[in-house]
Amino acid sequence: MGLNDKSLFGLPSEVKFCKKCVESNQRFLSSTQHKITASENKKTIYFNEQGICGACSYYESKSKIDWNTREKELRDILDQYRSTDGSYDVLVPGSGGKDSIFTSFLLKKKYNMNPLTCTWSPGEYTDIGWKNYRSWINSGFDNILFTPNKKIHGLLSRIAFENLLHPFQPFVLGQNSFPLKVAIQNKIKLVIYGDGVEERATGKPGKKKINKNLKLYDFLYREKNDDIFLGGIQTEDLIKKYKISKNDLLPFLPLSKELVLENELEVLPITKFINYNPQDNFYFAKENSNFQVNPDGRSEGTYTKYSSLDDKFDGFHYYTWFIKTGRGRATEDAGIEVRNKIISREEATSLVKKYDGEFPQKYFKDFLNHTNLDEKKFFEIIDKFRSPHLWDKINGKWILKKAVWK
């Protein structure tokens, strides 16, 4: 690697691809959103000595799990929380996608729980996203929908785009913190999500320090002395620079660890107890909630038609991911389907070659309006975040130096 091929974001300088799926060693692991700064080095997915990614290793370990025992563990947990007076006893955050539909039905119909569902509104609903959300709620669930101040959401999206190339950050911040706030307000101790981060990426195996009193992911709360950053800027500086108030930012801010402990919250992914398969959830949602797929036949940047349909700006989340890491939405989807034995690695490679990095043109004008950017500024910012070890510009066109099909 030459002097001009330095990697950005702390990414591995040598690009490698999983020998079982199509995942790249450039894939970011989930970050604690309120701690992200422009200078942060990212943690990336683990690859073992055999060249197998952490997600595939996790799936291999799933074949050794006794799922009957896991389900018994789930029943035992639910028995601890189930109400006797019909009051809400579990919170299911979701958008009305296949996973939240499956999870809410499972808890209500099979395990006789009394779920409340909650939804953090997308930046801007797609028509199919709104229809699927309404179909989910109308199939028999109480729901709390929160829609943040659109001007503040747009401003934070722009700041995160300019500083981090992460325009989806405000949505993720709200999606992380809002369910815990709803749980506390409604005196619900148990929160269950429809999927888990382990299904997509894992870090290096090893013993982790566990606080037995905190039964949730550590990125869902803040420590007492944490500095909170939004778009890579400390909140106090953000308030001064953009003349906004602390109240404007409250919906996006995480709860304190002390408040989480005080309310004894437990947050779990259903995938810890039920063997997850995305296609199974899709067919379940279609049958039980009239879930509809993307009317265009597939989503931009990928070949699938049943995931991340609700937000007009989803495509820009995956596209900016592609710019920073050289792997996009098709890589994500194909990796999951290879692990679930839906497609082969060879098929996945062809699909990634055909669709990964496709520009999300359909809602481009909506995105520019949301972030108050013009097209020229958009692409200037995009190109600033291309890591030299990933990208070459040849005859005016950006080309990946290394790809899974090369």
State the burial class of residue 224 (Cβ atoms within 10 Å of its Cβ: 0-12, 13-18, 19+).
Answer: exposed
Conformational region of residue 98, where left means phi above 0, alpha means psi within -120 to 50, and beta covers everything else: alpha
Q: Phi first, then psi: what are they for 296, rounded to 5°?
A: -80, -5
Rounded to two decimals, the pTM is 0.93
Per-residue pLDDT of the chain (406 residues; tens, 9 = 90+): 444 578 999 999 999 999 999 999 999 998 889 999 999 999 999 999 999 999 999 999 888 999 999 999 999 999 999 999 999 999 999 999 999 999 999 999 999 999 999 999 999 999 999 999 999 999 999 999 999 999 999 999 999 999 999 999 999 999 999 999 999 999 999 999 998 666 666 766 554 444 444 556 666 778 776 789 999 999 999 999 999 999 999 999 999 888 988 999 999 999 999 998 888 999 999 999 999 999 999 999 999 999 899 999 999 999 999 999 999 999 999 999 999 999 999 999 999 999 999 999 999 999 999 999 999 999 999 999 999 999 999 999 999 999 999 8
Look at strands 397-400 and 229-230 and give their pairing: unpaired
Give the pLDDT confidence score for residue 278 in this predicted structure: 85
Give the pLDDT confidence score for residue 203 in this predicted structure: 63
Give the pLDDT confidence score for residue 201 in this predicted structure: 64
Domains of the chain: 3-63+297-400 (no CATH), 67-199+206-272 (3.40.50)
- What is the rounded CA–CA span in Å between residue 110 and residue 235? 44
- What is the rounded CA–CA span in Å between residue 54 and residue 131? 35
Give the pLDDT confidence score for residue 1 in this predicted structure: 47
Q: In what order do the strands lie in the sheet with 115-120?
A: 142-146, 115-120, 90-93, 190-193, 266-269
- What is the rounded CA–CA span in Å between residue 144 and residue 306? 23
Give the pLDDT confidence score for residue 220 in this predicted structure: 77
Give the pLDDT confidence score for residue 198 in this predicted structure: 65
Measured at the CA of 27, the angle between CA 26 and CA 32, to 5 degrees, comes to: 125
Coil vs helix vs strand at 337: helix
Question: Which ranges constitute the DSSP H helices of 54-167?
Answer: 54-62, 67-81, 98-105, 127-138, 150-164
